[in-house]
Structure 1
Amino acid sequence: MRGVAVLGFLVAVAPITATPGASLTLVVSRVATGGRRQGWWVILGTVTGLYLHATLAAVGLAALVLRSAQAFWIVKLLGAAYLVGLGLWMLFSAARRSPSTTSPPARTRRLPWRVDHPYLQGLLGNVLNPKAAAIYLTLAPQFLEPGRPVLVPMLLLATAHSALHTCWLAGWTVVSGAAGRLLRTAAVRRVLDRLTGVILLGLGVRAAVT
């Protein structure tokens, strides 16, 4: 694959990457809760989702979802339900948070596949996002060479995309971490949890009706 094709793909996905979505919302929220390490877990989960989308598109499995209105609708509803559920969980967390305490950084080890783990949240937030799948089903093929093997070039595009996405989210992780002490005060955490919950609810509703 030519370098110009990879560069062109990065230019095409850059505006999509910079658009605020579930991954960015999760990074800011989780860093505010438990420090920068939680943000890196969200980034890792998001990148895993990108590679999964690229692999499925390359082997043709994800194309079935795009061609079947029923299958695509199911994926859409699953993604919307996940975002709405996560948003409601954030609102519930804000409602039960005491206004007189400061939230310390979370230091306990939790398994990455636990429901409340930032890695799993980042992974599901990306995997259940039809827009992420559409990038590798409709946009990425335009940068592949006809008649050549697809899997390796697709994974190369996913690697470039993951690097771009990591740099974008890492910047927000550093910024959020720098403001960590302020963000972990109870009053700010309640506002941030409510704002995060509303944003995730909005993203979920938009995903369902678009």
Structure 2
Amino acid sequence: MDLVNIATFVLMATLLVISPGPNGALIVKTVPTSGSKAGFANILGFIAAFYVHGTLSVFGISVLLLQSAEIFFVFKILGAAYLCWLGIKSILSAWRVAPNAASLPSDPRENRKSMRVAFLEGFITNALNPKVSMFYLAAFPQFLPFSDSAPLAYILVSAHAAVNLVWFSAMVILLTQLKGLSVSTGFSRWLKSVTGVFFLGFGAKLAFLNS
């Protein structure tokens, strides 16, 4: 694999990453309410899921997912249901914001729990997204010239992970700078409601995705 192939893949991955999707919506939902650490935990969840999808693609297991209509249907419905659940959860929490919530001290145990939850939300959002498998299955044959190409495949996965890390870390930092807005109960309700609607939209889009 030469540098031109890697650069082309990075460009393709970048266009995928910066396009609106559930990952960005999750970051926007997480950072104002749970802080930057939870946002970075989301990102680590994204990256972990990429390596899972990359490994499945290397060993050809994802091919079965896309060749079997029944398995693909179950997988995409699970992913769609999870995104819709995140959307409903966000909308419901928008109207449970306590007026003085921003002034209450945080519980360290709750913060630790939020890190685990944030990581799992990031991981599951991508692990149950067949679009990620489709991306790897479509991209790998174009950029991996050898039949025994597992090491090269992980270079591409790492490149995809690096693009995600840079883009979404910048988003986390930006949202952290704007954190003062989240003190407003009205803004918090608006933000959670909007992100909830986006999650519902992404879930519905995924549910009607054709294999």
* TM-score in terms of structure 1 length: 0.92
**Deviations 1:27-50, CA, capped at 9 Å, x for gaps:** 121110121111100000000011
Partner of 1:87: 87
Q: Which has the higher helix share?
A: 2
Partner of 2:61: 61
Gapped regions of structure 1 (runs ≥ 5): none
1:110 aligns with 2:109: no
Where do 4+ consecutive residues of structure 1 move more than 2 Å? 98-108
- The answer to whether the 8 A contact 2:34-2:114 is kept is no
Partner of 1:200: 199
1:169 aligns with 2:168: yes
Identity of aligned residues (%): 33
Distance 1:183 1:58 in 2: 43
1:151 aligns with 2:154: no
Partner of 1:50: 50
- Report how far residue 103 of structure 1 moved: 6.2
- The answer to whether the 8 A contact 1:33-1:184 is kept is no
- Report how far residue 98 of structure 1 moved: 2.8
Distance 1:105 1:8 in 2: 48
Partner of 1:10: 10
Distance 2:171 2:81 in 1: 26
Distance 2:162 2:104 in 1: 31
> Compared with structure 1, are the counterparts of its residues 100 and 112 closer, same or farther at alpha carbon in structure 2 (3 Å cutoff)?
closer
Gapped regions of structure 2 (runs ≥ 5): none
Distance 2:103 2:53 in 1: 36
- Report how far residue 97 of structure 1 moved: 1.6
How much is the aligned-residue C-alpha RMSD, in angstroms? 1.7
> Compared with structure 1, are the counterparts of its residues 74 and 105 closer, same or farther at alpha carbon in structure 2 (3 Å cutoff)?
farther
3-state secondary structure, aligned to 1:98 = coil
**Deviations 1:105-155, CA, capped at 9 Å, x for gaps:** 854312765xxx1100000001111111111111222100133x1211111
**Deviations 1:73-99, CA, capped at 9 Å, x for gaps:** 111101000000110011110122234
1:142 aligns with 2:142: yes
**Deviations 1:10-58, CA, capped at 9 Å, x for gaps:** 1122211111111111112111012111110000000001111000000
Aligned residue pairs total: 206
Distance 2:104 2:6 in 1: 42
- Report how far residue 104 of structure 1 moved: 5.8
Distance 1:39 1:2 in 2: 34
- Report how far residue 185 of structure 1 moved: 2.5
Distance 2:157 2:105 in 1: 32
* TM-score in terms of structure 2 length: 0.92
